[in-house]
Structure 1
Amino acid sequence: MNDKSYQSNPDDRSDNVEKLQDMIQNTLDRIDESEEAMAFSTEEEKQMIQQKNQNRQMSIDAMRSEIKDEQTARKNGYTE
């Protein structure tokens, strides 16, 4: 075994809002692309796409909630 001590990286929340906004935009883009693909899909594929898009929408809602939390933390002077 190695005697080195390992430390986790400090929590850096400074750009979480921006990262979450990018993730939301990417997810919205995937929803749009999948809806376009439905025009060429079988009924079974359409159902799968619709389910995935519902899951994506739930993820977006959760990310938006997290953005609000992060913005509140910024206003309250969050520091590492």
Structure 2
Amino acid sequence: MSKYHKPNPDDRSDNVEKLQAIVHNTLENIEAAEETLAFSGQEEKAKIQAKNKRRKEAVEGLREEIKDEASDRKQ
């Protein structure tokens, strides 16, 4: 048996769907975190808000990537 593994082929056929699922899950995480704000202390609120800000920035990037992947799929 070879000690090197053959890499899997690059299959991007379902990237749009995977990215959309990631966006959906991230938005649910943002919503759940915002619901906990009412029960959190000041320090915890600041951490949650900072994390949600990073999540929202990530969602923006993912949406751009979805557009790119969808455009590539049409070509």
State the TM-score, normalizing by the size of structure 2. 0.93
Q: What is residue 51 of structure 1 aligned with on the other side? A: 50
Cα deviation, residue 7, structure 1:
1.4
Q: Where do 5+ consecutive residues of structure 2 fail to align?
A: none
Q: Give me the whole-angstrom Cα distance separating, in 2, the residues matched to 1:26 and 1:60.
A: 10
Which of 1 and 2 has greater Rg? Answer: 1
2 CA distance for matches of 1:21 and 1:4? 36
Counterpart position of 2:69: 70
CA RMSD of aligned residues (A): 1.2
Give the count of matched residue pairs: 75
Structure (1/2) with the larger helix percentage? 2
Identity across aligned pairs (percent)?
A: 52
Moved more, 32-41 or 6-15: 6-15
TM-score by length of 1: 0.88
Show structure 1 runs of 5+ residues with no match.
none
Structure 1 pair 50/6, CA: closer, same or farther in 2 (3 Å)? same
Q: 1:19 to 1:3 in 2, by over 3 A?
A: closer
Residue 14 (str. 1) matches residue 23 (str. 2): no
